[in-house]
C-alpha cells in the first residue's frame, strides 16, 4: 500500500484487507493485522505501471474521476473522495463499468491493469531555428569578447597614449 499510519502503537504501513479485516474497515495498520493474526491482506501495491512525475503533466484538476469523460482531463485530475483520493486513471471501455475514468486506487483494488495513469509531457519544440547560425553567432561573440579583453590588457600595460 502507499499509506502509513502515524499513530504510536500502529505506526507503519497500512494493509488492504477489504471485507476480511474482521471489522467494518477495509484497511488497517499491518502491525494491527499481524497482532490479530490476520493474513488476508495486501501490504504492497506494485508500482510498475506508475510513470515518474517528471514525464507526466502536472495534475491540476480536482474532480470525481467517474464523472470525467475525456482522456486528457482524466490524466491531469486527482479524485478528492476519501478512500478514492489520488490520481485518476484512464481505462476507456476497459473499466468494467460504464465509466471511462476511475481512481487509480480503485483500479488497483479491482485488479484492473488496463489503464493509463500519466499524460506525457509534450516536448518543447523550437521551430525554424538554424543551429548553424546559432553556433556561428555564439562563436563570433566569444571571439570578440576574447579580443576585447586582450586589447584592454594591451592598453593597460602601455599606459595612456
Same domain, 120 and 134: no
Q: In this predicted structure, what is the pLDDT of residue 142?
A: 84
Same domain, 114 and 147: no
Average pLDDT on 89-115 reads: 93
Same domain, 60 and 111: yes
Of the pLDDT bands very low, low, confident and very high (cuts 50, 70, 90), residue 54 is low
Task: Tell me, yes or no, whether 40 lies in a domain.
Answer: no
pTM listed for this prediction: 0.47
| Containing structural domain, residue 115 | 49-125
Domains held by the chain: number:
3
Summarised one tens digit per residue, pLDDT across range 126-147 is 666 677 777 878 888 888 888 8
Same domain, 119 and 158: no
Summarised one tens digit per residue, pLDDT across range 2-45 is 677 778 887 888 888 777 888 888 788 888 888 888 887 776 65
Alpha-carbon distance of 41 to 38, in angstroms, equals 7
Same domain, 121 and 132: no
Alpha-carbon distance of 6 to 21, in angstroms, equals 19
C-alpha cell at 133: 547560425
Summarised one tens digit per residue, pLDDT across range 37-49 is 888 777 665 544 4
Same domain, 120 and 153: no
Which is more confident, 126 or 75?
Answer: 75
Task: Tell me, yes or no, whether 42 lies in a domain.
Answer: no
Average pLDDT on 43-68 reads: 74
% of the chain exceeding 70 in pLDDT: 84
Same domain, 101 and 76: yes
Give the residue carrying C-alpha cell 543551429: 131
Same domain, 88 and 150: no
Same domain, 31 and 97: no
CB 114 within 8 A of CB 101: no
Task: Tell me, yes or no, whether 78 lies in a domain.
Answer: yes
Q: In this predicted structure, what is the pLDDT of residue 117?
A: 92
Task: Tell me, yes or no, whether 141 lies in a domain.
Answer: yes
Q: In this predicted structure, what is the pLDDT of residue 125?
A: 61
Distance of CA 127 to the CA centre of its chain: 29
Same domain, 27 and 73: no
Amino acid at each position: 500500500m502507499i499509506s502509513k499510519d502515524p499513530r504510536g502503537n500502529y505506526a507503519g504501513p497500512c494493509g488492504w484487507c477489504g471485507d476480511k479485516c474482521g471489522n467494518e474497515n477495509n484497511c488497517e495498520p499491518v502491525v494491527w493485522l499481524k497482532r490479530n493474526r490476520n493474513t488476508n491482506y495486501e501490504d504492497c501495491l506494485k508500482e510498475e505501471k506508475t510513470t515518474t512525475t517528471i514525464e507526466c503533466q502536472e495534475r491540476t484538476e480536482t474532480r470525481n474521476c467517474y464523472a470525467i469523460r475525456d482522456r486528457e482531463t482524466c490524466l491531469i485530475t486527482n479524485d478528492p473522495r476519501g478512500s478514492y483520493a489520488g490520481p485518476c486513471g484512464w481505462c476507456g471501455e476497459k473499466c468494467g463499468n460504464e465509466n471511462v475514468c476511475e481512481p487509480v486506487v480503485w483500479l488497483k483494488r479491482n485488479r484492473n491493469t488496463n489503464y493509463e495513469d500519466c499524460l506525457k509531457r509534450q516536448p518543447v519544440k523550437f521551430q525554424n531555428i538554424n543551429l548553424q547560425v546559432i553556433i556561428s553567432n555564439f562563436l563570433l561573440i566569444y571571439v570578440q569578447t576574447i579580443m576585447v579583453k586582450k586589447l584592454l590588457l594591451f592598453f593597460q600595460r602601455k599606459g595612456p597614449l
